Structure 1
Amino acid sequence: MGNFLAGRVVAVTGAGRGIGRAVALAAAAEGARVVVNDYGVSVDGVSPTSEVAEAVVKEIEAAGGEAVAVADDVSTMAGGQRVVDAAVSAYGRLDGVVCVAGILRERMLFNMTEEEWDPVVATHLKGTFTVFRAASAVMREQRAGTLIGFTSGNHQGSVSQANYSAAKGGVISLVRSAALGLSRYGVTANAVAPVARTRMSANVPMELTEIGEPEDVAALVVYLLSDAAREQGVTGQVYTAAGPKIAVWAQPRELRAVYAEGPWTPERIAEVLPGSVGVDPMPMSERVEAMARAAARKERPNA
């Protein structure tokens, strides 16, 4: 057992398997008392079971740590609140939340149904909001705390996961909003974009050249939950963890601008915009084209 998070209370959603489980185990190994939340569903969000969260609690306890299980669905306000209430009830405080819970329902945009859109956005984005909302109220009173959301490199866009991509982009904006709004109360917020071998990554239709294990991601999360990250002023950031690689994403900002003398017209914009403002190429476009070329050769594309 380490002491990087000694005395801390941390809640982790989606903690029954994969990255969430690795985060829960790593936090406990560093001295945190852990609320293990998992609705216990399959990758597409069906067939819930409480046994998944309870199994991780038993692992933590067997290693000498302390943990409680919460099997609620965090896509509901009541579910997110119960995760936080469980921490306060069991341990008297809450120092960090890590929102890993997520599901996938892949479909091309022109075929995607409401039933494929809503649960994905609800689990990833609303599920982060419900826990952040409840946790931030506690942390505001404590004048300290850490919020961590999970995003993805697919926030740049996706061919067949518009629901997932939109939700993950929303998580980033939610994290940045939390960082801005809660800084006066001593609360930090960051996002992690993991690339690791999990149930969800197993279905990625390409060969990932930069990928690690859930434990690699967990190490970064433990750091972000720690005093070290707080003292170093880490907030409002998005980090990728991919095996040996850790990277930080750029903050959004304007690239170029042009100003008109008098009102703009469509004709004037068509004349001025291409040369003066132009476009910012989408990084994912080149990857999609490479995937198409590889598919035409009946090869598994790299990414």
Structure 2
Amino acid sequence: MAGVVAVVVMGLGVLALSVIPFGQRHYSAMVEHSAGLRVGEEVQVAGVGLGEVRGIALKGKAVKVDFTLDSSVRLGRDSSAAVKVATLLGTHFLEVTPAGDGSLPDGTIPLAHTSVPYNLQDVVEGSTRTLDDIDGPKVAASMQVLADTLRDTPDEARRAIDGVSRLSSVAAKRSDQMRRLLAGARRVTGDLADDNEEILALLKQSTLVLDELTSRREVIDRMLADSTRLATEVSGVLDDSDEELEPLMRDFTTTLDALKRQRTDITASVDGLSTMVTYFANATGNGPWMDLHVASALNDNLTCAVLGPTC
């Protein structure tokens, strides 16, 4: 008999250990609906799991969630709770936020201090408002206009599709020519890329030529200014009727005209080279090297569509 009693006592002890959560406190929270929360899911405080949901039951128009919480956490009268979605697979947890002084009345967080991830009633009401805002007669009229428009366009649509089909057939028949064209374009771009050093040297020489032309233009500008001033002064001093000085002045004027023409030619050359030199400065301004990009002659998508795996 004593052995039976001992076994019963031991069984009750094991049951008590498995049911009674030592070191934890029991609380409850009133929520609008369970929102998928299940018994056994975690209770978190500040992102740390400190308890477990022990029971979920309907109470009036709300749902009562019973849970345990580590005894080190004290819930004040302003504490709140929220049902949260943990993963996309449908797991949830109850997030508890301690707040306020004193203790939680009746150990229950009221409905006013809880929230759920969604409210079915709000969803239904929002959908109803959206549907109410739709003007049915206008939608019907728009669909009728669309139908009338499409009814008159089958021939145009068919011709457009036929045109696309013919274009595809031409492209298919001339694929070999396109392939050769692309291969030639690749060789050209490859040669330009291989001649990088020669292009760089040419640009450097163009810069030297531009500097020399600019210097010559400045010299001619000074000569023109001085000669024009001299001609003006001489004309004011000498008598225009002097037959001996007239040929000299005529030759001097011819020389000025020649200088003006040379200046015009030099200016045109400078304008032509300035663009190239600007590109050269941009290409060499990032460091002791030259940024030279030779783009393909044809679109990348077209190139890969024709060349296939070798693209």
User: TM-score when scaled to structure 2?
Assistant: 0.17
> Which one has more relative contact order, counting CA pairs under 8 Å at least 6 apart?
1
* Rg (Cα) greater in structure: 2
Q: Which has the higher helix share?
A: 2
